[in-house]
Structure 1
């Protein structure tokens, strides 16, 4: 073999595709090798009493299907089912492949896989839902493109008619295969690749992307000169041999087969803990970067030390930017370090927060502080850049590993505030010292109730001063666009930077270096993108940026394909330097502030609607519930795309546009609880309350165990009760809602922006008042006021405090604050 194949395997970039020759060595129930194409054609001809004259398998199979109908499946079972796997298959499964495609219908490879303890192994049919590539290479998906002897009802592809049908229908996994072929190194084993459906998808993808074929290989004992030259035209190199030669090469090349952990560490050096972690820890430590100069230097970055850094074009800082001191160290951050972190001997839990508005440099400050603390060499330091639903488990594990305090820097405290509160309140004390940041408004409305009483210190870094301006200008001269500033006097440079940064540091930096207003810069950038595919990539990735996560290449590829645009994400990103960045299969854009202004001011609503539609469709290939079958980052994007509030904001509250999204996918997502819930909430927000009730009732029938849907349905019953003039009907609605909300409240289900007791108290008073029982409503308001006032979170919970105030006002005046029905509960 060669080093290219070895490197592809070690970096999780090698995909296999089996043809009939790969199954040589397996034994079927007759004790024979599963028949190859010619042999199967001969068997089928004999079964239908026809003389075999070397006709193509597709022709013989079509004739057999006509004569025997589904009885042909019995022939397949006899020759392809209950196979004993070959030694080669067993050996191959020792290696960390993440996808293997096969043109075969036998079950030999599955039998081998089932003999491997603890192997996560999935068999997929060509039309099954797509699954994400396991980012930790622990799961192997085996995709049977032409059928499966164990599932004859899903059909087989042998005849020309079936190839044509498959081509027109575009099976999901054939389409995915075409994308994989242009992303990974392939080895085709035991096939001459005379597969018209395969090449149809490949060529269709190439026509869209205008891309060249990656280097791939075909492993087969012999090919003619013409066959070799034909495959070379597709950059496929012939390797003489069979599967046993490949497994022999693997055994000779590796003393021990590489593990999934080895592959992860090769591709994601930030997960290279010492001692090397067991597989089960990879998910736990995903998104957790151990901060020290030696490990950070290994993390790949597209940044170049010889050009203007993307940081000064509006991108978030990379670790390479931090290592190279690209951002200036601002005075407020410096004071925080000197007062709190320099030579700190803290031995017990502390919580420190940097406050600031979007674009003021919170992430930059946290990364700078994390590296400075790590440089002290006194404590271990970790940085978390993604939402972690297993955060408490992570802290427990880190506590177990450390015999003294360690620092845990968290980009956004709001994401994990309830979990941190639970950690602090638990009987066990943690060794973690938490350093994080948050927008002051989010702190007040969502976080303070959880962590306010535990805050050790805080500082606001929203604004820069005169000294900061000097430091920033020095960095701009080295790493930014200095052309315009070089023509100004030092005094005027400083004046302009301070003046323009009073609103926001990010905007001030861009405006100062360009001499244009931030909005004009965004408009100019967007108009400068003349390629439809590049513009779509920016908008798709921008939707991910609004959720502070990178966009996944695989999902972007599908979305671009649905738009009939070039789906080659890597190629597009390489042509958009300074607009988007591509790193290890993820795409990021400039700051969220940039993207939100772009959406609000310059992207036509029709265009945004098409982009959102294609992105949602790109998620429809996954099994329901979708959020359970994709990564955390991808889940946050999907939830944003179907969220009623988000859609209303992006589509400027246009009722027809927002509801068209839900109407488009109502059938596709009829078994997707999150989608149904948000559909109902969208209808509610547009005062379509009866329709909203019907959608939420359907959602509850489908997912009765969901407290979120229960809560939403109870809210809707109260809204209908408030609109009802018939007292019997109104109280029937309210009674059902009251039962649910009291139960949720007793169970302490507060996984909402507002507690069930808030919904119940406001709704109860509103229903009575609407029915003309104002006196009784005032008494009820007083009772709820006194009940909620006993809540220990009252002072720190903005929404609870507001409700108590509103109830008091109603009790005293009989006046309820003006709100729409949809405002009763959010």
Structure 2
């Protein structure tokens, strides 16, 4: 690439590098060997760290050429290289006056692509397929140099190749620095030709060529440009004026709408303008939105803000409470606040959150911004907006569990700067309970729950459905019968109630009939693939569908759009540029998956097939894998642990270093499944601990496994040994007041009560009765203390119920507690321990105390 060092150092060809390595590590007699063989022997002799460090020292002196410095002055879809050096990165990091993008280098699968793109202003990806001198000592992605490295070149970076392959379908490639016969170029072209892919024209920049070569490549839709890299970039620079390169559609449009709230004439920074363009939507009554078809909206097809602007929704009573507490009463407050709207999937949270945002902006004249689904929650942008306006900023965030780290970072920044900010978030109950424990404990959100349809809400719903001719089978019924149809289903989620009341069939049946009616089979299969992942409330990237089913977006648009028009939505990610698919609602996707995959075998095969093609560098894919990995999800979905193990094996392959996956496999699946293995759970939990030694949740899992093993043992000695182990492990699982720790302590005590109750004989052993009395007292006290700290916790309520059931089902236990009572006639606490079946007797005794 024509680079030179400050002292005249030249770049190394493959031959030059071979000679240097041979002389440095082996001897001159090996200079005639090939590079990979020399590298093999050098690494064997000196070790990889020494060899890679030598290569780094040879490449580091090289400086970017004028051609490199021109790269940042153009907009690129992406950059890809097999070079080890960091000349491209250094060119971008100089911060040139006319630089249009900032580089985001990626060297391995697990780097979070979207997070890196979102944290970079005007980002462009750089894929480093063969490693980088800046990561030369990363054993997961060594420099691809020796025979072994080439054989394993895609290990831990196969997703990088997949991303590049996806771009080859739809983007123009310009190859610089590669020979006409380069294997990389030929492999790409042969693969595309074999698959019949219609791609754009490609270009190869090469210093030497002839007419025969040019004619050969032109037939393959590849144009040869006879030039060096330097001359090519200079010609490009001369041919395209700078003004044309800097044009970016839409910039500044959203800035104008928010300016009415400014208290200063100061212009927002480019970073804030970018955030208002990509990350946030300024909510106001005059904002633009795509039209929303009313009937499709009531089927779950929410295409954006059209339904709100067209007033297709009903106002839920919880919204008034939320606006009063979270907006009206907060306007003059000086505190930052986190507000949460929660409820089950399909209950109408997202629409209610949007309506609350619009009402706050329009009727209450507040400054409201909505975090876009693929946006970054940038603290610096929110703080700048607060400074420019001097007003409280209301930030609305749907799917809060996806943004927990960003929400906490924003809250910390707001508190530190004493800014006026309220975050109003929404999330499904199960997602919030699983992932948001730390955030909820620290920031104590003001919570609102979206409940069942109230009578007034049902009347409003019937009225608006009638207005938009969307009552379906109810349209011919009198108004009282229409209202009654919804009242019968008031305890169902809103989406379910809408379908069942207007179509007269079970929601599951409606959704499955839709699926069966899709033709051709190729479209039906695509819909199932989309639903398999979208049931976890994540968009499904077109790149995944291309890898799984071989269906590119152009193919979908031309051949499959019509049969899927009423069941699939598409959108474009603002950062990655990916097209994303989703069903009309995650609840619909869930029922499609369940209906199409009714057996454990079919569920396992479909999930495994999708997991194998996910790219964990992208957030939606990672969320999908982590959602599938939740042991409770699989234990409820499958009846056989064997199929669950197949799915977990695929997940571990995709996320080999994720302690969370192994912990979930151990905790809920092997631990809770009826045919799971506690020994396997112990093994998996220890593997998770090796990956994350400080994890409190893993320590808690190890404690719970030991507790269950104690209950499964027959030997009193082994029971005691495992319970001591369980208690000891709890010390690493969190503070004594942690909910999980307290819950486990309660469970261990109740387990001991159960064992003691079952061991009591008919010989009226007073010592055993006394031990039982004290043990029950200790268990009750522990449960009561835990419930005082954590109200309405299902886990604690279940433990309390189990204690009552154990005592109520065993006559010997009641007899032993009666004897303990007689020894302590004024012992009210013992009376309280008696089961509910003896409550009347207990009350009589309490009156005598």
Once the two structures are superposed, the pairs formed by residues 692-703 of structure 1 within 5 Å of their partners are: 692-703=681-692
Say if 1:413 and 1:438, in contact at 8 Å, map to a contact too: yes
Say if 1:121 and 1:140, in contact at 8 Å, map to a contact too: yes
**1:600 maps onto 2:594 in alignment:** yes
Structure with greater Cα Rg: 2
- 101, 124, 148: which is aligned to 2:107? 124
**1:88 maps onto 2:88 in alignment:** no
Say if 1:105 and 1:149, in contact at 8 Å, map to a contact too: yes
Deviation sequence 1:438-480 (CA, Å, 0-9, x none): 7789999999997999568977546643443232232347xxx
| SS, match of residue 407 in structure 1 | strand
Shift of 1:41: 13
Say if 2:143 and 2:149, in contact at 8 Å, map to a contact too: no
| Residues 769, 546 of structure 1: alpha-carbon distance in 2 compared, 3 angstrom cutoff | same
Which of 711-720 and 633-642 deviates more? 633-642
| Residues 542, 491 of structure 1: alpha-carbon distance in 2 compared, 3 angstrom cutoff | same
Shift of 1:720: 1.3
Aligned to 1:322: 308
**TM-score normalised by structure 2 residue count:** 0.70
Once the two structures are superposed, the pairs formed by residues 235-384 of structure 1 within 5 Å of their partners are: 235-236=221-222, 242-246=229-233, 249=236, 253-254=241-242, 276=268, 288-293=280-285, 296-297=288-289, 310-325=296-311, 327-330=312-315, 332=317, 346-348=331-333, 358-376=345-363, 378-384=365-371
Say if 2:678 and 2:709, in contact at 8 Å, map to a contact too: yes
Q: Which has the higher contact order (CA 8 A, sep 6+)?
A: 1
**1:671 maps onto 2:657 in alignment:** yes
Aligned to 1:714: 703
List gaps (5 residues or longer) in structure 1: 1-22, 48-59, 298-302, 623-628, 819-826
Aligned to 1:101: 80
Say if 1:292 and 1:375, in contact at 8 Å, map to a contact too: yes
| Residues 689, 546 of structure 1: alpha-carbon distance in 2 compared, 3 angstrom cutoff | same
CA–CA distance in 2 between the matches of 1:41 and 1:354?
Answer: 61
**TM-score normalised by structure 1 residue count:** 0.71
Say if 2:83 and 2:130, in contact at 8 Å, map to a contact too: yes
Say if 2:570 and 2:581, in contact at 8 Å, map to a contact too: yes
Which of 276-285 and 379-388 deviates more? 276-285
CA–CA distance in 2 between the matches of 1:383 and 1:82?
Answer: 47
CA–CA distance in 1 between the matches of 2:403 and 2:774?
Answer: 39
Aligned to 2:640: 654
Say if 2:342 and 2:349, in contact at 8 Å, map to a contact too: yes
| SS, match of residue 657 in structure 2 | coil
Shift of 1:658: 0.9
| Residues 643, 489 of structure 1: alpha-carbon distance in 2 compared, 3 angstrom cutoff | closer
Aligned to 2:199: 213
How many aligned positions are there? 741
CA–CA distance in 1 between the matches of 2:671 and 2:245?
Answer: 57
* Cα root mean square deviation, aligned: 5.7
CA–CA distance in 2 between the matches of 1:442 and 1:365?
Answer: 18
Say if 1:684 and 1:692, in contact at 8 Å, map to a contact too: yes
Aligned to 1:793: 789
CA–CA distance in 2 between the matches of 1:421 and 1:95?
Answer: 33
List gaps (5 residues or longer) in structure 2: 24-30, 44-50, 260-266, 573-577, 760-767, 815-832, 836-849
Which of 197-206 and 539-548 deviates more? 197-206
Shift of 1:540: 3.8
Deviation sequence 1:254-295 (CA, Å, 0-9, x none): 36986xxx9798699799987555659989998653313565
Say if 1:92 and 1:247, in contact at 8 Å, map to a contact too: no
| Residues 462, 211 of structure 1: alpha-carbon distance in 2 compared, 3 angstrom cutoff | farther
Say if 1:444 and 1:798, in contact at 8 Å, map to a contact too: no
Say if 1:680 and 1:692, in contact at 8 Å, map to a contact too: yes
Say if 1:383 and 1:410, in contact at 8 Å, map to a contact too: yes
Shift of 1:179: 1.3
CA–CA distance in 2 between the matches of 1:67 and 1:196?
Answer: 21
Aligned to 1:204: 191
Once the two structures are superposed, the pairs formed by residues 480-629 of structure 1 within 5 Å of their partners are: 491=477, 495=481, 499=485, 502-503=488-489, 505-507=494-496, 509-510=498-499, 518-530=507-519, 534-558=523-547, 560=548, 565-569=549-553, 571-572=555-556, 575=561, 576-584=564-572, 585=578, 586-605=580-599, 606-619=601-614
Shift of 1:717: 0.9
Say if 2:339 and 2:425, in contact at 8 Å, map to a contact too: yes
Deviation sequence 1:537-556 (CA, Å, 0-9, x none): 43343244333232334444
Shift of 1:757: 0.8
Say if 1:570 and 1:582, in contact at 8 Å, map to a contact too: no
| Residues 730, 268 of structure 1: alpha-carbon distance in 2 compared, 3 angstrom cutoff | farther
CA–CA distance in 2 between the matches of 1:547 and 1:216?
Answer: 38
- 715, 729, 736: which is aligned to 1:726? 715
| SS, match of residue 381 in structure 1 | strand
Say if 1:718 and 1:734, in contact at 8 Å, map to a contact too: yes
Say if 1:292 and 1:371, in contact at 8 Å, map to a contact too: yes
Say if 2:283 and 2:361, in contact at 8 Å, map to a contact too: yes
Say if 1:352 and 1:458, in contact at 8 Å, map to a contact too: no
- 751, 764, 767: which is aligned to 1:766? 751
